[in-house]
């Protein structure tokens, strides 16, 4: 820009910064990341790790085999999901533009990444800008074709001394069609495999086009349909809607409410929901976002 417009450098600094800012992308909002069963991994527990069970050897048995057996757990590795990436050409123009771009990156939680030298590079700039999944803000979207593996991950072998599954995921998302088809199984699976989940998003009017090819992954941004959600009322044992409903979507709200009222039939629902808040929130999916996965082998600069 500065080379094509020779008078650009004579503009006031405040105006130049404003121009650089308008050359940057819009801020990236909340993201839906497609679920993959390969995110479940087996890891060995060591003494002192959460979930490790101390076992005292049997003093009367010189060959107490259980004492020497390793302990394992199944862990949901959300850090393997990949990272949303975005191109910021202004970063390469000059130091002034780079300062503005860097400020944008910090505010939007993006960082610089370079491809690993042993991985093939895509036809993009050698330095890209990426943001990892945020468990508190983003959500894990369960595609219809992945629901069977979400319910019972096939990639996990049955290992003796594998005591539990551990997942820190807090928000999941499903389409309307998946909710209506598997409402009972959704509730039971969340309770069994993801005990810290607090929010279930229902993506209305769309089944996201998540590729079955795991190396060709796209994420989607989402926005809330309105300021209201269905909250679990422990005293009444029902979901109550709190907030404002968007006009024109009355049938959607009613269908979602009818479906989630069956959640309390899930095994262990009342016990597990005693101490945590749980809500179901209608959302709309917006633009697609390019993603680098673990297979791309990107390293931090």
Q: Is residue 219 part of a domain?
A: yes
Contact criterion met (CB below 8 Å) for 90 and 24: yes
One pLDDT digit (tens) per residue for the chain, 301 residues: 445 566 888 889 999 999 998 888 777 788 888 888 878 887 777 777 766 666 655 545 555 445 556 777 778 877 777 677 777 888 888 889 889 988 988 888 787 765 544 455 554 455 667 787 888 888 999 988 888 888 887 655 565 555 567 788 889 999 999 999 998 889 888 888 888 888 999 999 776 766 555 544 678 888 888 888 999 888 888 899 999 999 999 999 999 999 998 888 877 776 655 446 789 999 998 877 766 555 444 433 3
Q: Mind listing the pLDDT tens digit for each residue in 135-160? A: 888 899 998 888 888 888 765 556 55
DSSP, res 25? P
Phi, psi of 215 (to 5 degrees): -90, -5
In a domain, 19, yes or no: no
- Rounded CA separation 175/190 (Å): 15
Which two structure tokens, joined as six digits, stand for 87? 């191109």
User: What is the residue range of 295's domain?
Assistant: 29-45+62-82+134-300
Give the predicted TM-score (pTM) of the model.
0.76
**Quick one: which of 42, 220, 198 has its CA closest to 143?**
220
| Residue 109 within a domain | no
Q: Are 257 and 241 in contact (CB under 8 A)?
A: yes
Query: From CA 177, how far away is CA 51, in angstroms rounded?
Result: 36
Q: What is the dihedral of CA 177, 180, 181, 185, to 10 degrees?
A: 120
Residue 142 is predicted with a pLDDT of 92
Report the pLDDT value the prediction gives residue 141, as an integer from 0 to 100: 92
Contact 168, 134 (CB under 8 A): no
Asked whether residue 183 is assigned to any structural domain, the reply reads yes
Number of domains in the chain: 1
Q: Is residue 227 part of a domain?
A: yes
Rounded Cα distance between 228 and 213, Å, is 35
Asked if the structure places residue 246 within a domain, the reply is yes
Contacts (Cβ under 8 Å, ≥6 apart) of 103:
none
Domain-located, residue 67:
yes
């Amino acid at each position: 820009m500065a080379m094509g417009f020779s008078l650009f450098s004579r503009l006031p600094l405040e105006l130049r910064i404003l121009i650089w800012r308008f050359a940057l992308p819009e801020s990236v909002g909340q993201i839906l990341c497609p679920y993959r069963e390969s995110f479940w991994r087996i890891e060995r527990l060591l003494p002192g790790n959460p979930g490790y069970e101390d076992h005292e050897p049997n003093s009367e048995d010189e060959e107490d085999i259980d004492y020497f057996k390793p302990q394992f757990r199944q862990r949901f590795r959300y850090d393997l999901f990949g990272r949303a990436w975005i191109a910021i050409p202004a970063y390469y123009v000059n130091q002034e533009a780079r300062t503005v771009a860097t400020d944008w990156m910090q505010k939007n939680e993006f960082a610089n990444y370079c491809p690993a030298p042993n991985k093939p590079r895509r036809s993009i700039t050698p330095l890209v800008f990426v943001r990892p999944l945020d468990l508190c803000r983003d959500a894990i979207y369960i595609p219809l074709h992945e629901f069977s593996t979400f319910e019972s991950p096939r990639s996990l072998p049955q290992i003796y001394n594998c005591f539990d599954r551990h997942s820190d995921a807090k928000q999941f998302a499903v389409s309307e069609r998946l909710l209506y088809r598997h409402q009972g199984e959704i509730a039971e699976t969340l309770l069994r495999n993801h005990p810290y989940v607090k929010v279930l998003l229902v993506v209305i009017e769309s089944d996201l086009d998540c590729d079955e090819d795991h190396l060709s992954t796209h994420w989607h941004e989402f926005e809330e349909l309105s300021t209201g959600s269905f909250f679990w009322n422990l005293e009444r044992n029902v979901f109550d809607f709190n907030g404002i409903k968007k006009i024109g979507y009355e049938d959607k709200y009613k269908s979602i409410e009818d479906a989630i009222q069956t959640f309390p039939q899930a095994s262990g629902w009342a016990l597990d929901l005693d101490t945590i808040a749980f809500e179901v929130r209608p959302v709309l999916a917006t633009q697609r976002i390019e993603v680098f996965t673990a297979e791309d082998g990107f390293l931090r600069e």
